[in-house]
Structure formats: C-alpha cells, structure tokens
Amino acid sequence: MQARSGNEQPPQATRAETTARRAGEQTATSVAPDMKLWIPPGSNVPPRRNGTPSGPRRWLTETWLRRLGAITAILVIGVAGILYWRANLGIVKTNNAQTNGYLSSISPRISGNVLRVLVEEHDFVRAGTELVDIDPTDYRLALAQVQAQLTTARATEQGAAAALAAQEQAFTAGLRIAQSTLRAARPTVAQAQAQLVLNDQTTAAGIAQAQKQVVTATANLRAAQAQLTTTQRINDRDTALLAAGAIAQQQMDIDAANLAGAKAAVQADQDAVYQAEAQLASAIASRQQVEVSRQAVAVNQGQVANAQGQVEQAEARAAVTRQRAQELAAAQAQVAAAEQAVRIAQVNLSRTIIYAPVAGWVTNRTVEVGRVVQPNQPLMAITIAGRLWVDANIKEFQLGGVRVGDSVAIHIDEFYGHTFHGHVQSIGKATGSAVALLPPDNATGNFIKVVQLVPVRIYFNFAPGEAQPALGLSAEVEIDTRHRGR
C-alpha cells in the first residue's frame, strides 16, 4: 500500500451512507439541543456535533421512550384504580334516596270560629306553644249550665239522704215499741195460766196479795196515763210548731214514736190492772171463777197476738225505707252524671286553645282568622324536630353486606359540601314493586329480569347544633360495611 500524500482526498463515501447521514442530520436538527438520547452500545451511527444520535439510533430511542411512557401510564392508572377500588370496597352508594320524617297534623277537637292564629308558615315552635284560639263563648255558657245542673242534683241528693235517715229512724223506733209491747204481753199469758192453778189454792193470803197487786197496777197505770198526757201535750205543741216551720219533720217523728210508746205503756199497765183485778176476783170467787181465769188467759193471748201484729207492721215499714234508699241512689247517680257533664264541658272549653304537641316547624298552614272550623279539620302540620331519616332504595345485589347499625354518610344538595352522618335503622322485607298498586306477574308473558330496589331506612345522627334538612330532599348515601372485616 502506498502512502497517501497530503493533498490526496479520502475515498468518496457510498451514496447510501451519504443519504443516511443527511437524514440523520435533518432529524437531529428537529431535536432540542438539550435532549439526551440513549444510543445502544455497538451502534455505528456517528454522533453529531450536539451529541444526539441520528438515523436508526434516533428511531430506536423514540420507540423505547414511547414504550416507557405507555408502561408508566398503565402503572399509574392501575395503581389509581387499585387505590380507588380499595377506598370504595364495602361502600354501598346510591342517589335514589330522599329525606323523610314525621308530620304532626294539627286539627281541632271542637267546632267554632277562629279568633287568633299565633304562628306563621315555617315558624319554629316548641312543645306547648299556643297555636290557634277558638271562640270560647258557647263553651263557657255550656259549662255554666251544667254547673247549675250539678248544684240542683246535689241538693236533691241531700234531700233524699235526709228523708232516708228520717225513715230509718221512724222504722227503728216503731219496731222497738212493737217489740217492747210484745215482750210485755207475753208474761201476762204465763201469769194467767199460773192463776188457773192458784185458784184451787186460794186463801186469804192469796186474796191480800191479789189486792196489793191491784193497788200496784193501778198506781202504775196512773203514772203511765200521766206520762201519756204529757207526751200528748208535747206532740200537740210540736204539731203547731211544725205547721209554723219552726221544727223539722224528724222531731215530729220522734214525738210520734214517744206517743206510741206512752200509749203502749198505758196499755200494758191497764192490762196489769186488769190482771191484778182478775186475780183478786179469782181469789174471791175461789174455784168457781176458774172459767173467768180461763177467759183472762184468752184475753192475754189476744194481747200477745196484737203485739205481734204491731211488730209485723213495723217490719213492713222496711219497704218504705228501701224505697227511700233507692231514691237516694237515683239522686247520687244524677250527681255523678252532672259531674261528668261538668268535666266534659271543662275539657271542651280547654280545647278552644290549640297547643303544639311537639317541637318543630310549622308547615302547610291553612287556617285563617274568622274561619269556622270543624273537629278533625286539618289546620296545619308540624315537621317534628329531630325525627328525620332517609329512605334509600338499594339494588338487591348490593344488600349482601348491609346490616342494621351500619354507619352512613349522607350528602344533600341543600347543604353542599357538608356530610351528615347516620346509621341503618331497618331494611325493608318487601321491594317497591311487591307493594305497588299493580304488582308484576312474571307467570304471564315473556319474563325479563329487572333489578329490584329494596327500601332501607337510615336515621340521622345529628350533632349538637347541626341543621336539620327539609323533608323530601334528594340525597346521596354511602353505607359503610367495611367494619366487619370483609
């Protein structure tokens, strides 16, 4: 090989190499000067003056960059998906939910004109707040009327009680007198019968004894007659006083009883005189007067029968006493009915003022001043404070992990950005279609499976001072079932 001189030029490159070199230069000019491309080891691509590869080396570098970017994006998306999946694992979500609660309907128990309405729509009221006043005039008059009837009934009851007491006293006194007369008449029968035996043994001593008995019986008779005269005088005096209204009928009943007792005593003493005289005559007439003694025994037995009749007559007065007792019971029943009427009138009068039964917000107020209202006519309603829940309709395949007591996050558009907390109170045992007006009948026609919705009731766990949403608002709920370690 000969050495080249300094003026000799190197051999000309092939056309292919020249074309490749120019393509690499054009491509390198489109790359930023600060971009560093990776050149695989052993590559024959000559570097340009700015250090970037050209030609096939440039193409390989861009291919690897695209692959690396795609792999990186896939990894990022996969990690983000895994994190999202794990964050929402065990969370049952639905926006098919709305708030609900109890409405306390306010209606009158009586009829009348409305005098005042003390609340406006959407006012917050506490339990016991006065809401509506109804004209109480008619109910005050009705109360006064039944109170007057009660006073009359009580007066009637007192009169019946006094009549019963007087009748019981008269009955007791008459019975006592008749029993005394009977007890006084019975011994005379035994005495007369004994006299029949003594007539056969009549002696002078017997005659003297009989005379003494006559004297004693006569003295007793005079004393009884004097007592009868005094009792009769008192009875006549009290009769005049009763006619003048100075004494009560009860005193006259007592005087009548005393007079009857005095007469009975006179009768008894008279009988004793007769008996003594009969004994004396029997003693004098000796044994021939046995027949007379027998007649005396018959007389005495008649007196006993008369006394027994008086006892029976006195006992018959018990029927009158029972009648008086029935009259008293009827009067007491009238008093009880009048008292019940007074209580009813008082209740009706108290119902002229309508109070709030619970605390909450006034809604649907339709009552106005001057309107005539009827019992059970709706006047307004009260949304009960604190008694609010969400009715969420959960798809049937989402209910597997939902249990009563699960915590729930509730989002409501009215409170954008605020999260309410609650818990699952109950899970329905019938789907919405099962209780629909026209439930589906899968036994007819072509069957198409439709995902059913099951109602789930969620109660709010309000924090102190936390606002209460309105009823009927749409809500989004997230039921957390992860605490069971799924």
Q: Count of domains in the chain?
A: 3
Q: Does residue 2 lie within any of the structural domains?
A: no
Q: Does residue 240 lie within any of the structural domains?
A: yes
For the ranges 40-49, 329-338, 401-410, the lowest mean pLDDT is seen at 40-49
Whether residue 191 sits in one domain with residue 311: yes
Query: Looking up tokens 């699960």, which residue turns up?
Result: 406
Which helix (H) or strand (E) covers residue 419, if one does?
Answer: strand 419-427
Task: Give the whole-angstrom CA distance, residue 125 versus residue 104.
Answer: 12
Q: CATH number of the domain that 463 lies in?
A: 2.40.30.170
pLDDT at 206 over 70: no
Q: Does residue 354 lie within any of the structural domains?
A: no
Whether residue 389 sits in one domain with residue 304: no
For the ranges 143-147, 326-330, 374-378, the lowest mean pLDDT is seen at 326-330
Q: Does residue 128 lie within any of the structural domains?
A: no
Task: Give the whole-angstrom CA distance, residue 56 versus residue 16.
Answer: 13
Whether residue 56 sits in one domain with residue 181: no
Q: Cα–chain-centroid distance for residue 477? A: 37
Which of 336, 370, 394 terminates a domain? The answer is: 336
Q: Does residue 112 lie within any of the structural domains?
A: no
Q: What angle do CA 263, 266, 268 make, to 5 degrees?
A: 110
Tokens of 225: 């007659």
Which of 317, 336, 355 terminates a domain? The answer is: 336
Whether residue 396 sits in one domain with residue 325: no
pLDDT at 486 over 50: no
Please give the average per-residue pLDDT across 177-183, as a whole number: 71
Whether residue 170 sits in one domain with residue 314: yes
**What was the pLDDT predicted at 288?**
55
Which phi and psi (to 5°) does residue 263 adopt?
-65, -40
**What was the pLDDT predicted at 7?**
41
pLDDT at 35 over 60: no
Q: Does residue 230 lie within any of the structural domains?
A: yes
Q: Higher confidence at residue 369 or residue 37?
A: 369
Which of 336, 352, 370 terminates a domain? The answer is: 336
Q: Does residue 371 lie within any of the structural domains?
A: no
Query: Looking up tokens 């209460």, which residue turns up?
Result: 468
Whether residue 219 sits in one domain with residue 176: yes
Model confidence band, residue 181 (pLDDT cutoffs 50, 70, 90)? confident
Whether residue 163 sits in one domain with residue 82: no
Whether residue 207 sits in one domain with residue 148: yes
For 270-302, write each residue's pLDDT tens digit: 877 777 777 777 666 655 555 666 666 677 767
Whether residue 313 sits in one domain with residue 276: yes
Tokens of 45: 């691509």
CB 260 within 8 A of CB 209: no
Task: Give the whole-angstrom CA distance, residue 138 versus residue 8.
Answer: 139
How many Cβ atoms sit within 10 Å of the Cβ of residue 444?
7
| Total-model pTM | 0.52
CA distances from 362 to 116, 121, 348, 351, 368 (A): 16, 5, 24, 20, 14
Which helix (H) or strand (E) covers residue 236, if one does?
Answer: helix 204-244
Whether residue 97 sits in one domain with residue 47: no
Cβ-based burial of 211 (10 A; exposed 0-12, middle 13-18, buried ≥19): middle
When the pLDDT of each residue in the chain is averaged and rounded to a whole number, the result is: 78
Q: Does residue 359 lie within any of the structural domains?
A: no
Domain that holds residue 269: 143-336
Tokens of 414: 């009215």
Q: Which are the contacts of 299, defined by CB distance < 8 A and separation ≥ 6?
A: 192, 274
DSSP 177-194: HHHHHHHHHHHHHHHHHH
Task: Give the whole-angstrom CA distance, residue 290 versus residue 283.
Answer: 10
For 300-341, write each residue's pLDDT tens digit: 767 777 777 776 776 666 777 788 888 888 888 999 999 999
Whether residue 155 sits in one domain with residue 35: no
pLDDT at 26 over 70: no
* CA Rg value for the chain: 62
Whether residue 312 sits in one domain with residue 407: no
First to last CA, the chain: 85
